[in-house]
Structure 1
């Protein structure tokens, strides 16, 4: 729906490109595609089948219902649920052929004593220093052995999560990797599935990762993003990740704000002179962050212009300059403004203006925003008001 009041465009050709780039970087490890939170806001019902068609055979989600959705979509590969299971969920795990995460001693005990129709594949989450979920790294060897002795569990995998992979020089990276390596040396039989790295770790810590890891958990990288923005002004050699998601909104009103008058709730912005203002059909109800008020810019007819006043639930306003300026004269109802795309402003820009991370901006994209999936490059907003 390219002419909707607000819409997101997801470039499926770029998604496939990113799978290729990440798979090349990860070798000999395979990709485990992380599809939690509706594929980071990109739409799991389209993204998951596309990834399977691209050859991805392992997936991870945060919650049980997300895993069941993948099976309903026809996803056949390994699906790991990262949240701990509860006793009343175990039958659903076995019915849908899911892998469970062992995140604590109580979870390990529950699985070891469960009565199930078939052994439940399980991955032990090792807390090596993140202190969020996981068995303490000093306890893993004991529970690995006990779970192997239990008829209800098939202890197949082991993993940890790096707390500071987006800060490559942080000493905690070395500490966590050393603890995990020590754990691996104690496990008999050896795990069939070892995974440590996420996108940031693959990008910045690749030479320090376990050489025998079976998987890399790729989340945001699938969508062309990392926690650390890529340098600007460097040509894409074909090996760089490419942002998949863009967001645009329609101009639904233009008017002149007299000098000294204010715009939007709270009267936080005052026109320093007579100013032409465009109202866009997007707000925090669509997932665009209210926290970006007073900082954000949009691209309209190829020109970056500041938002003015507070972002509202359904609307936001843009300063077009003097009413006699070329941009003000050119802009009319029905034109489209870019909130973010690869050409800028980027998703990283919006996150910086909002004092958050790009993950949050993508995941907050509301269900009411139509997603438009395409392979072909979108037409520039600067050219004719479409995207």
Structure 2
């Protein structure tokens, strides 16, 4: 197998560490690991068994095929599918013991009138203000009662999702939490599983969350990230460790004469003779084109600006004057760090690209090799898939 000029490294020891940090923060609630979108781009085939070995017994995914993939990997814990079920999917829910989300009155009616071959566990998604999916909070008690009367339905849980957990001062947080609390208090019988917090809610709103919740749904936090950079004004002290880093090789070096332009659109002009490194990564690998003209990369410990437009497979970095120490030191095959836990970070790249870390992790392309690394000698599991 030929080596690619780009590589992502995932520190599995840090993921295990983050599981313990989240568990401690969430206690007495248990961790529900969200593994949608190929474990946020980290590779579910390696991450799901790792979490299971670490004792995680509750999982959530976006779509049915993601849940079936977890079962194929031998995951035996309960799996909640967050998307609304369709009639043709119900046999798979029953056969593989998947938990379904009641995301609307129409879904509730579908389940009430379906001929199920075995009991189906359901969680009611309460729309408290996100207005994406869910049963309107005021209508939930009525549907809760109706669902409980269905002999083939096991009404297991109730949950909501906060729209502004990454902005702790936003007044919608208080409205959503109060609506959810009122809803839960009105349910008879009481739900066995209540969950509202994601990673951002756990880190930014720890003192405002329900104290009787059974689960915390953590996705990005498993990999040492929140959707916004840590903010001491709001965020509880945390010891999350970033697990993902991305690097690419220098594949070409040349000197661009003063006045010449670089890359598509001729958007960057060399102000003087400039040594430019072409590195083997582009938007075809998931590196955002929106970062063109804003991003920096690290070469031999020095942050240098990316110049010109990011191409599908390549991008260019300004190394400075051809006579500079960095320019003279850099050779084809050297590593350029796109992000890691020092600088630049994934939060930096998100800011330069005007997006969020979620998107950058999820859009990391399948053609980028993942190297799973655990430097602990007793549990080393280096390898690439």
TM-score (norm 2): 0.95
Instruction: Tell me the SS of whatever aligns to 1:305.
Output: strand
Mapping of residues 368-387 of structure 1, within 5 Å: 368-376=367-375
Q: How far apart in 2 are the matches of 1:204 and 1:298?
A: 30
Deviations 1:220-274 (A, max 9, x none): 0001000221269xxxx9x511101000000000000000000000000000000
Deviations 1:168-227 (A, max 9, x none): 111111101111111111111111110000001001111111111000000100010002
Instruction: Tell me the SS of whatever aligns to 2:38.
Output: helix
Instruction: Tell me the SS of whatever aligns to 1:248.
Output: strand
Decide which moves more: 261-270 or 143-152. Answer: 143-152
Q: How far apart in 2 are the matches of 1:222 and 1:346?
A: 17
1:327 aligns with 2:326: yes
Q: Are 1:59 and 1:77, in contact at CA under 8 Å, matched by a contact in 2?
A: yes
Count how many residue pairs are aligned between Structure 1 and Structure 2: 372
Q: How far apart in 2 are the matches of 1:336 and 1:207?
A: 43
Mapping of residues 340-379 of structure 1, within 5 Å: 340-376=339-375
User: In the alignment, what sits opposite 1:28?
Assistant: 28
List gaps (5 residues or longer) in structure 1: 378-387
Instruction: Tell me the SS of whatever aligns to 1:139.
Output: helix
Deviations 1:128-173 (A, max 9, x none): 0110000000111011111110022111100000000001111111
User: In the alignment, what sits opposite 1:273?
Assistant: 272
Runs of 4+ more than 4 Å apart: none
1:210 aligns with 2:210: yes
Q: CA deviation at 1:113?
A: 1.2
1:244 aligns with 2:246: no
Q: How far apart in 2 are the matches of 1:81 and 1:376?
A: 34
User: In the alignment, what sits opposite 1:86?
Assistant: 86
Q: Are 2:8 and 2:247, in contact at CA under 8 Å, matched by a contact in 1?
A: yes
Instruction: Tell me the SS of whatever aligns to 1:117.
Output: coil
User: In the alignment, what sits opposite 1:254?
Assistant: 253
Q: How far apart in 2 are the matches of 1:95 and 1:278?
A: 54
Deviations 1:307-339 (A, max 9, x none): 000000000000000001000000000101000
Q: How far apart in 2 are the matches of 1:363 and 1:116?
A: 35
Deviations 1:2-45 (A, max 9, x none): 96310100000000000000000000000000000000000000
Instruction: Tell me the SS of whatever aligns to 2:276.
Output: strand
